Amino acid sequence: MLKHLLLIQMAFIAIYGASLRDSIVFDGPSGQWLRDPRIILDDVSGVPPALRLNPVGYHHYDEMTAYLRAVNAAYPQLTSLYSIGQSVQGRELWVLLISTTPSEKTILKPEVKYVGNIHGNEPVGRELLLRLIQHLLVNYPQDDYVRFLMETTNIHIMPSMNPDGFEVSREGDCGGVQGRYNANGKDLNRNFPDLFKGGKNNGDPQPEANAISRWMNQRQFILSAAFHGGALVASYPFDNKEVTLNLPHLGGRYQPSLTPDDDTFKHLATMYSFNHRKMHSAGACFPGDTVFPNGTTNGAAWYYLAGGMQDYNYVWNGAMELTLEVGCCKYPKGETLPEYWEDNKQAMLKYLGEAQRGVRGQVFDSQSNPISNANIRIKGRTFGSKTTNLGEFWRILMPGVYTLQVEADGFLPSEQTFQVEEGLPTLINVSLRRGTDKTNTFNDRIPLPQLQPAQPPRRTSIFSSLSNFFGGLGRAK
């Protein structure tokens, strides 16, 4: 084996000259020399072997875990590695936080997350996120934009939300469903509370989706993206819609289902697609498939789905999440991964910068104590968020004039007008006066359905597995 590798190496040196020797990369996690040393992701020549990814291969659970641990050990000042729970089969749901302040509590530094591989057989996002980790850490010392991101943002990266599904998926399977579901046969992107179904979803809450919900209760994320495959488009909420008589399977067409934050969502989706090398100008994936003008779509206008993660992020948590479909083939061959990384790199980096838009601030009482759990909304935009235990809030908004509405138990509601400009976020503090007079409580609020507390999973019936199977055929998001 070693002799064989040395021969390959010598052959390359003979062809390309001795200078190439430096670019032949040993892949620590897999213990292999790269198959094609001409394909180099970024310049990782100064990086120790254990911290280098195999640019032309997928990283299975053990390799991914080893890589994340190695990175965390090598960059303790810039990373924090944690697990938000375990999959059905007991795999950790790893998150790597990348930031200049990974373990301090910073005031008003926004929390952003990237989640990959929610469908186990759509692993390009998983690999893109591992490459993003490598890119951020390797480029931190010399890239001003990367440093800016890490100084201003807490970037939480979860390469795989469905590690069990990934392990049973097949490399090269572009359109199938094997590995899409978790180990209980459930589609995780149908497993979140749904606004249009009274908070219901596709049945028993699954450990992977529960872990995401708990995570979101612990941190006020403001910007997010989930990576999928099987199409090439940036899709934005809502994914679901009030039931109408015009159902597509009765001959109707899918109708858009737009949020009150549609301007922001359209901007975010366009920002991703135009910074992607192909998404904004791509045609149909397959003959007869949907063509997405500018590479963006409202989720419902594409097709309806209930229990999706992006609607849940937005409705219940005030986190703006997109569903990013990063390629027509769900599980392409590993050799193509460098191309996917080049396609998405700029878009992934630029999108993180969108957390700097809009408004942020803190809510205090008259003695300057922070008020946690206050309801924050932008007038006319229905869905809001809650303040953190330091009274912090954030909202991504396009330039314009807005009214902030704040309500908290035991205090009088407050309204405040402010302006958002392009560039840096607007900072405002809100001071609430104690009181119980609710006569001018904001009346355009939509009460959200009450959520059931998370339950332990039960066995999935054969019928729900079957309906999952047919529901998932050919589906991407």
| Token pair listed for 163 | 């590690």
Q: Which is nearer to Zn ion, 175 or 353 (CB)?
A: 175
Measured from the Cβ of residue 413, the count of other Cβ atoms closer than 10 Å reads 19
Q: Which is nearer to ligand NAG, 184 or 273 (CB)?
A: 273
373 binds, among ligand NAG, Zn ion, none (CB under 5 to 8 A by kind): none
362 binds, among Zn ion, ligand NAG, none (CB under 5 to 8 A by kind): ligand NAG
> Which positions from 312 through 331 interact with Zn ion, judged by CB under 5 A?
none
What track of x and - describes contact with ligand NAG for positions 262 through 301 (by CB under 6 A)? -------------------------------xx-------
Shortest CB 320 distance to Zn ion, Å:
19
State yes or no: residue 369 binds ligand NAG (CB under 6 A): no
The helix/strand/coil state of 473 is coil
| Token pair listed for 138 | 């390797």
Q: Which is nearer to Zn ion, 276 or 330 (CB)?
A: 330
The helix/strand/coil state of 13 is helix
Q: Which is nearer to ligand NAG, 328 or 359 (CB)?
A: 359
Catalytic residue among 111, 325, 392, 407: 325
The helix/strand/coil state of 288 is coil
331 and 172 Cβ atoms separated by less than 8 Å: yes
73 binds, among ligand NAG, Zn ion, none (CB under 5 to 8 A by kind): none
Q: Which is nearer to ligand NAG, 287 or 293 (CB)?
A: 293
Distance (Å, rounded) from C-alpha 460 to C-alpha 89? 15
Selected from 429, 440, 461, 465, the binder of ligand NAG by CB under 6 A is: 429
Q: Which is nearer to ligand NAG, 98 or 300 (CB)?
A: 300
370 and 390 Cβ atoms separated by less than 8 Å: yes
Residue span binding ligand NAG (CB under 6 A) among the ranges 88-96, 298-306, 426-434, 450-458: 426-434
State yes or no: residue 372 binds ligand NAG (CB under 6 A): no
Residue 193: partners with Cβ closer than 8 Å, 6 or more residues away: 199, 200, 201, 307, 312, 316, 449, 451
Q: How long, in residues, is the chain?
A: 477
Sign of CA dihedral 178, 183, 184, 189: negative
> Which positions from 95 through 124 interact with Zn ion, judged by CB under 5 A?
119, 122
Neighbour-count burial of 40, counting CB atoms closer than 10 A to its CB (0-12 exposed, 13-18 middle, 19+ buried):
middle
> Which is nearest to 85 in space by CA: 227, 213, 219, 223?
213
* Strand duo 320-327 + 231-236: pairing: antiparallel
Q: Which is nearer to ligand NAG, 292 or 314 (CB)?
A: 292
Amino acid symbol at 205: P
What track of x and - describes contact with ligand NAG for positions 450 through 469 (by CB under 6 A)? --------------------
119 binds, among Zn ion, ligand NAG, none (CB under 5 to 8 A by kind): Zn ion
State yes or no: residue 360 binds Zn ion (CB under 5 A): no
In the complex, which residue's CB is closest to Zn ion?
228
DSSP for 289-340? SPP-GGGEEEHHHH---SS-HHHHHHHHH--EEEEEEEESSSS--GGGHHHH
309 and 321 Cβ atoms separated by less than 8 Å: yes
Shortest CB 14 distance to Zn ion, Å:
45
Shortest CB 319 distance to Zn ion, Å:
19
228 binds, among Zn ion, ligand NAG, none (CB under 5 to 8 A by kind): Zn ion
Residue 301 vs residues 240, 244, 311, 322, 447: alpha-carbon distances, Å:
9, 14, 14, 14, 25
Q: Which is nearer to ligand NAG, 6 or 427 (CB)?
A: 427
Distance (Å, rounded) from C-alpha 199 to C-alpha 201? 7
* Strand duo 79-86 + 414-420: pairing: unpaired
State yes or no: residue 228 binds Zn ion (CB under 5 A): yes
Residue span binding ligand NAG (CB under 6 A) among the ranges 24-32, 194-202, 213-221, 424-432: 424-432
Annotation marks residue 325 as catalytic: yes
> Which positions from 344 through 363 interact with ligand NAG, judged by CB under 6 A?
362
State yes or no: residue 427 binds ligand NAG (CB under 6 A): yes
Residues at the interface with Zn ion (CB under 5 A): 119, 122, 228
What are the catalytic residues? 325
Residues at the interface with ligand NAG (CB under 6 A): 293-294, 362, 427-429
